């Protein structure tokens, strides 16, 4: 990490649910919460807790110098709604293949 930039990853004690247009896309009591300097907390969900059958792989990829290269998935009318790091950098290895959504409900 660069000076002043930190990332922490913890097991969440909360349940996380992702709902779009009334449809539950994911629900998990096993989410990881990633806190990164300058960013809102992000919840990474195990792939088994995500309705991957509803998602379509996207050609989009982005690169983060701290986490690595992200792959994206879309829903009809919601491009690149979810992402994951299939080969994350060693410092964040525990998020490997976990999926992250922009909007989640935490309860």
- Per-residue pLDDT tens over the stretch 16-57: 999 998 999 999 999 999 999 999 999 999 999 999 999 999
Which residue in the block uniquely carries the two structure tokens 């990853």?
9
Higher pLDDT, 66 or 3: 66
Q: How far apart are CA 60 and CA 73, in angstroms?
A: 8
Predicted TM-score (pTM) of the model is 0.93
Block residue for tokens 């009318």: 77
Question: Tokens 């982005």 map to which residue?
Answer: 62
> How many residues belong to the chain?
107
Is 47 in a helix, a strand, or coil? Answer: helix
Instruction: Domain 7-106: state its class.
Output: mainly beta
Residue 93 DSSP symbol = G
What would the pLDDT profile of 31-40 be if each residue is shown by its tens digit? 999 999 999 9
């Amino acid at each position: 990490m660069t000076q002043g930039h930190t990332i922490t990853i913890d097991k969440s004690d909360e349940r996380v649910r992702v709902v779009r247009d009334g449809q539950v896309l994911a629900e998990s009591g096993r989410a990881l919460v990633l806190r990164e300097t300058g960013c809102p907390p992000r919840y990474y969900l195990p792939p088994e807790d995500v309705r991957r059958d509803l998602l379509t792989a996207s050609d989009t990829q982005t690169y983060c110098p701290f986490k690595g290269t992200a792959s994206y998935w879309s829903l009809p009318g919601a491009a690149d709604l979810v992402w994951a790091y299939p080969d994350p950098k060693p410092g964040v290895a525990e998020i490997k293949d976990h999926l992250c959504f922009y909007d989640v409900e935490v309860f």
